[in-house]
Structure formats: structure tokens, C-alpha cells
Amino acid sequence: MATLIDILLGVKLRNCGSDSANTENKSLSKVLSGTLSSAETAFSMHKYFLDFLRSKCAIIRSATYTLLTSYIKNVSHVFNEEAMKVLSSALLGTFHEKDPSCHSSMWDAFLVFSRRFPEAWSYCNIHKVVFSQFWYFLQNGCYGSKQASYPLLVQFLESIPSKAIVTEQFTYDFLHNLWAGRNLRQLSAAESLAFFTAFKQSFLWLLKVPSRNSGGDSSDDIPIKLITTILAKNVWHDYLLVSSSTNQDNNLSGSSDEATSGDYLLSHKKSLLASNTHYPTYYLQDLGKCIIEILDEISTTENHLVKVACEALLRDCLDIVHQRERLSKFQDHVEQVVSFFLSLDQLVVQKGKTWPLESLARPLVEQSLPVIKSMVSSSAELVPSFYFFLRYLFVL
């Protein structure tokens, strides 16, 4: 039925009427009129196909999403106020759909409906009906449709009315739930790339929200908080293979009640999960590239945010240097820092940009000198990766 509506009402209707006297056009008009009448009757008779959306059969639900998409595109006049009241919750709150075979048609219906009827948001409780379901959807890795769903996240953000976004709360909920759903044990190389592409695009989009929306929060602080608590803490710490404990401040040298005697955050017992978890090479490469591309993107328009981010990244690198003998995974952390600077050189510095040198490499060398001198004078043993790292920074 969806295909018939698309073909007859979506294509033929636009081409009909150029020659009303033409017999063929008259016949076609009758067919179109009958099809339109049947579509209107079916929509009303089946109560907007709501029962089909609730079917236990995934094939039926997917077909219904497709059918409703066709109705929205070609028979939009049937969506009266009564229909909107019923379907707004069903289509805007559709992210409870757990079968990935339905997600492509589900997304089509959601995006077409929200664009064609922006007033539909007013018919449902957006936080209870839409956001709460969507957070679970993100937390669960889109229920298995990562490659289909992640590329559409920015379109989801763009579809939401600006007044519905409580800037700081919504931004943090979105990014935290998205990050929680990456699931390393089930993340293929293609899914990893899709995830970090979506994370970068969403992060940059949300970074600009305060300039588009004014609210009760101090909106000027939101971008800085995003940089310091999301990018330079959760994301960067994941790349360094260390823990981002919620009860810690941003300084890695801070201690915790949960830490054992003499331990530092990098050797904190919570970091054992990261140390014992297998991080696929492609995951770490995609993660590092994501961080670099975010920093490089904002360097052109928000230079002060780059400085804030680099200060946080620099603190962590210096903590690794200072705490070397206390870190059980010192070489692993150093290798990650080395890889990051190599990627930074390849992706940014070699293209003629200087912010990595000015904000990261040179300050790290200067502030590491006392420790380096101490290590040399005491004949302290340097792991090969750390020795290479020092040589690389001095070359820069």
C-alpha cells in the first residue's frame, strides 16, 4: 500500500493536469481520486494504524512505519488534530523500538513526521515520551543498529524544537548516554568509525547550542564545561586508558577515598577495568582522531576553548611523567600519549597549523624538563616508549 501511494499520489499526481482534456489524464485522475479516497478511508478505519505499530511482529511494525511515512509525504491532510494527538507520542516517542530491522523505517517516519509537522511536539510530553526513551536507545547502542542510527543523530538534534532543549541538562544527558552505549566488546571496526563520527558531529553541534538558545543557565559556561568534563575528562581519559571517576576533579594527581594507600588516580583500582579490557587498535585510533578533529575544528572559531582543552590534556600528560614509578601501566599510558602526538602531527601540524605546538608540545617539554633532569641525574631507567616520546617532543 505504501508503494502504491508513493507511486500514484507521490509521482503521478504532480504530473497530472497539464492537459485536462486528454483522455489518459482523465482516466488517471479517476485512479488517483479513488486511491486518495481509499487511503483516507483506511487511515480513519484503522485508527491511524496505531495497532499495527504495536504489533509483536517486527515485519508488520516496519511496514507500518513505511506506510505512515508515505502518508506524511503524500496524504498529509489526513493528519488532523485528533490524529496528531494520537500519533505524536507514537512516532516521536518511537525509540522504544528494539528490533534493529525496524530502525531504518522507524527513523524515516520520525524525521519526516517531525519536519512536516513541527507542531506535533506540543502534543506530547517531550521529556517523558521522547527523551527518556531516546536515552535508553543510546545507552543500549541503538539496540544493534549503530551503523544505521549513529549517522542520523545530528538530524535528530536538528528536529527538536529549540525551546525543548534545556541546554545544559539536555546536552549532558545526550552525550553521557551516547558515550555509555559504545560497548567495546561488541563494537566492530565499522561501528567504531560510525560512533566516533557521530560523537564528533554531535559534540560540535551541541557546543554551538548556547549561541542559538538562551536559557536560565549561564550559557557562556556550557561550552567550557563540555570541554573540561566531557572531552578532556571522559573521552581523553578513555584514550589514555585511565579511569574518569565521577568523584574526582580534573587533576589526575588527586586522591580518592577508594584508592589504596600510596595510590594515585592513574593507578586507581577503578582503572583496572580499562587496563584489563581489550581495546581494539581501531577503537583507539578512531578515538584519538575524534579528539584531534574536535580540537582542530574549534581552533578556527573558538580558540579560547582549545586553550582550555589543551591545558587539561597537558596536566594529564605531566601527571604521567611525574608519577612514572607509581604507575603500574606507565608504559601503556606513555604509548597512548606518543600515539596521540604522532596523530596530531600527521593530521594537523603537517597541514601548517601551529596550535598543537604552541598549546601542547612546547609547554609539555618546558614543564617536563625538571623531571627529565632528575631522571638523568639519578640514572633512572627510561622505558623505550618514554625515551622516544622525549626525543619526539624535543624535535618539535
SS (H, E, C) 146-211: HHHHHHHHHHHHHHCCHHHCCHHHHHHHHHHHHHHCCCHHHCCHHHHHHHHHHHHHHHHHHHCHHH
The letter for the amino acid at 55 is S
What are the C-alpha distances in Å from 108 to residues 21, 86, 102, 151? 38, 18, 10, 13
Distance CA 300, CA 51 (A): 51
Q: Which of 265, 246, 247 is nearest to 255 (CA)?
A: 265
| Three cell numbers, residue 189 | 571496526
The letter for the amino acid at 53 is L
Q: What is the pLDDT of residue 294?
A: 98
Helix axes 384-395, 330-347, angle to 10 degrees: 30
Tell me which DSSP letter residue 383 carries. P
| Distance linking the first and last C-alpha atoms of the chain | 65
Helix axes 103-116, 81-92, angle to 10 degrees: 140
Distance CA 147, CA 193 (A): 9
Distance CA 159, CA 117 (A): 10
Distance CA 18, CA 52 (A): 38
Max Cα distance, the chain (Å)? 100
Q: Contact, 138 vs 177, CB < 8 A?
A: yes
| Three cell numbers, residue 230 | 566531557
What DSSP string runs through 270-300?
GGHHHHHS---HHHHHHHHHHHHHHHHHHHT
Q: Which of 101, 17, 87, 95 is nearest to 52 (CA)?
A: 87
pLDDT digits (tens), the chain, 396 positions = 656 555 445 555 445 545 554 665 666 666 667 677 778 888 888 899 999 999 999 999 999 999 999 999 988 999 999 999 999 999 999 999 999 999 999 999 999 999 999 999 999 999 999 999 999 999 999 999 999 999 999 999 999 988 777 568 899 999 999 999 998 778 899 999 999 999 999 999 999 876 555 554 455 688 999 999 999 999 999 999 987 554 344 333 333 333 333 333 444 434 333 345 678 999 999 999 999 999 999 999 888 999 999 999 999 998 888 887 788 888 888 889 999 999 999 999 999 999 999 999 889 888 877 776 776 665 555 556 556 666 556 555
Name, in order, each residue with C-beta under 8 angstroms of 187's C-beta and a sequence gap of 6 or more: 146, 195, 280, 283
Distance CA 117, CA 137 (A): 23
Distance CA 2, CA 64 (A): 9
Distance CA 275, CA 15 (A): 64
Distance CA 15, CA 187 (A): 47
